[in-house]
């Protein structure tokens, strides 16, 4: 099932998402499949459950890997233990903020703890693109949006667009709410 993407202005994007406790719940696995399906039609590389109106700590990511295909990742109850490495500024976008782009400064690397979809516990270091996407998506689980991290110039540049999104006067290639 394809969910509509909740846009900037919807309360669920500003709430702290709840932890997953029951990994045997079949609804959880259906939801994860639906998140990938929703990401596919919206051309996103990362999706956090609050972006489809579900305030739970689930992140799906899919990345094209040369000579491999598309690699899929699921992160449940992710927690950043440490951020380190150099600060990198990269232009980000977000399905909940269509047509908005701005520079966001983040550390290059993180040490992450999370659960897989069957409840297996993991701890690992990430850097580069995957670390970047993870930090953006984990922000979603805490009610933080990339615009909160824009420098004042980018905030100003995107101000009118943000108002339009709030008024739902925005066109997207994917269903929205
Ligand atoms: Co986003």
What DSSP character marks residue 47?
E
- CB-CB contact of 101 with 78 (8 Å): no
Lowest mean pLDDT among 17-21, 42-46, 72-76, 131-135: 42-46
From CA 38, how far away is CA 51, in angstroms rounded?
Answer: 10
Residue 48 CA to ligand 1 centre (angstroms):
7
Q: In terms of pLDDT, which residue wins out, 9 or 43?
A: 9
Residue 114 CA to ligand 1 centre (angstroms):
19
pLDDT band per the 50, 70, 90 thresholds, residue 64: confident
In this predicted model, what pLDDT tens digit does every residue of 126-146 receive, in sequence order? 999 999 999 999 999 999 999
Dig out the tokens for 19 from the structure. 């932890």
Break the chain into its structural domains and give their ranges. 11-166
From CA 36, how far away is CA 134, in angstroms rounded?
Answer: 16
> Would you state the pLDDT for residue 67?
85
pLDDT band per the 50, 70, 90 thresholds, residue 68: confident
The answer, yes or no, to whether residue 80 has pLDDT greater than 90, is yes
Average per-residue pLDDT for the chain? 96
Mean pLDDT score, 23-47: 95
> Would you state the pLDDT for residue 115?
98
> Would you state the pLDDT for residue 26?
92
- CATH number belonging to the domain at 11-166, selected among 3.30.365.10, 3.90.45.10, 3.20.20.70, 3.90.1170.50: 3.90.45.10
From CA 109, how far away is CA 135, in angstroms rounded?
Answer: 10
DSSP-derived 3-state class of residue 86: strand
**Can you list the alpha helix ranges (DSSP code H) found in the chain?**
26-42, 128-141, 152-157, 159-166
From CA 176, how far away is CA 35, in angstroms rounded?
Answer: 14
pLDDT band per the 50, 70, 90 thresholds, residue 107: very high
- CB-CB contact of 140 with 13 (8 Å): yes
Query: Any idea which residues carry the catalytic annotation?
Result: 137
pLDDT band per the 50, 70, 90 thresholds, residue 24: very high
pTM of the model: 0.96
Mean pLDDT score, 92-102: 96
Residue 142 CA to ligand 1 centre (angstroms):
12
């Amino acid at each position: 099932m394809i969910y509509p993407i909740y846009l900037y202005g919807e309360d669920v994007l500003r709430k702290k998402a709840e932890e997953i406790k029951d990994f045997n719940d079949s609804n959880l696995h259906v939801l994860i499949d639906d998140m990938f399906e929703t990401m596919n039609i919206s051309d996103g590389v990362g999706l956090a459950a609050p972006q489809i109106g579900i305030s739970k700590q689930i992140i799906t990511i899919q990345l094209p890997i040369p000579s491999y295909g598309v690699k899929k990742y699921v992160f449940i109850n992710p927690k950043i233990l440490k951020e380190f490495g150099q600060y990198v500024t990269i232009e980000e976008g977000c399905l909940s903020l269509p047509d908005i782009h701005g520079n966001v400064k983040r550390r290059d690397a993180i040490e992450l703890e999370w659960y897989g979809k069957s409840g297996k516990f993991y701890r690992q270091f990430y850097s580069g693109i995957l670390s970047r996407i993870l930090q953006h998506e984990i922000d979603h689980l805490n009610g933080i949006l990339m615009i909160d991290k824009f420098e004042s110039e980018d905030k100003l540049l995107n101000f009118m667009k943000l108002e339009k999104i709030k008024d739902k006067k925005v066109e997207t290639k994917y269903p929205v709410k």
